[in-house]
Amino acid sequence: MTLPEDDLGHPVPLGSVPGRVVSLVPSLTEAIAHTVPEAVVGATVWCTHPPDLAVERLRGTKNPHVRRIVELAPDLVVANREENRERHVLQLREAGIPVWVTDIRTLTEAFASLHRLLDALAPGSSPAWLSDAESVWGGPAPAERIRVAVPIWRDPWMFVGADTFAHDLLARLGAENVFAGLPGRYPETDPDEADGADLVLLPDEPYAFSAGDGPEAFAPPSVLVSGRDLTWYGPSLVQAHERLSRALVSGS
């Protein structure tokens, strides 16, 4: 039997359709819960959507409760290369738990990865939210460009760079990332370096920027946005296009 492979090309030993799934990735938890809600038996404390998700919480993305996950004996654990640590993935595999690792840096990769994962969890399914998201994001980017900077942390200041999901999402909305040329996916630099931007987008995660914490550091105008809209690949994509587009227009 040919085993399915995760995004990193690692064979995932699934004997049948997984009936018990632990998700260590908030956006994937939402995607799975909207598609096969009965399958989710565990998630992280950061898995806040859907809001009524009632499953066991297994600590965070960086410090999952590996022993408890093994005790739950899930048919599959879903992880992500960026959000989760390799050592935890290896520990789970050594314990005999199949782990599916995603690696998503563009919207195209997100759609392809979601189709493959969800087809493994619900063969033959075609979630309406996934089709809607592909339709919403399928149009051309606006011709007029707006230069943006997107901090994700302060002390030290870190920004969205190239080769990231948020960078690709913004490019599809007609936004030019002023820090795309810096080395690293999340470069550290001074807020003054954002002076060439037309607009600074301040997300509420991973750092919770707010009206009183963030705007004062930048000369260009800023606007608060949902970090979920910028970085989650799942059902939120359906509304993220409109919300982010509105933020780019209203803030500029």
Does the pLDDT of residue 207 top 60, yes or no? yes
Which pLDDT belongs to residue 211? 96
Which pLDDT belongs to residue 142? 83
Q: How many CA atoms lie within 13 A of 24 on its CB side?
A: 29
Out of 13-17, 42-46, 122-126, least confident range: 122-126
Q: Give the percent of the chain with pLDDT over 70.
A: 98
Query: What's domain 146-251's superfamily in CATH?
Result: Nitrogenase molybdenum iron protein domain (3.40.50.1980)
In this prediction, residue 12 has a pLDDT band, given cuts at 50, 70 and 90, of very high
Between CA 183 and CA 161 the distance in angstroms is 8
Does the pLDDT of residue 110 top 70, yes or no? yes
Per-residue pLDDT averaged across 65-76, rounded? 97
Which pLDDT belongs to residue 251? 60
Class of the domain covering 21-126: alpha beta
Per-residue pLDDT averaged across 214-222, rounded? 97
Between CA 143 and CA 156 the distance in angstroms is 34
Between CA 242 and CA 137 the distance in angstroms is 10
In this prediction, residue 2 has a pLDDT band, given cuts at 50, 70 and 90, of low
Does the pLDDT of residue 80 top 70, yes or no? yes
Q: pLDDT tens digit string along 162-193?
A: 999 999 999 999 999 999 999 999 999 999 99
Mean pLDDT (the chain, rounded): 95
Does the pLDDT of residue 1 top 60, yes or no? no
Which residue spans of the chain are classified as CATH 3.40.50.1980? 21-126, 146-251
Residue with tokens 């630099």: 189
In this prediction, residue 252 has a pLDDT band, given cuts at 50, 70 and 90, of low
Between CA 207 and CA 219 the distance in angstroms is 20
Residue type, 229: D
Q: How far, CA to CA in Å, does 148 sit from each of 139, 197, 203?
A: 21, 5, 13
| Helix (H/G/I), strand (E/B), else coil: 245 | helix
Which pLDDT belongs to residue 193? 96
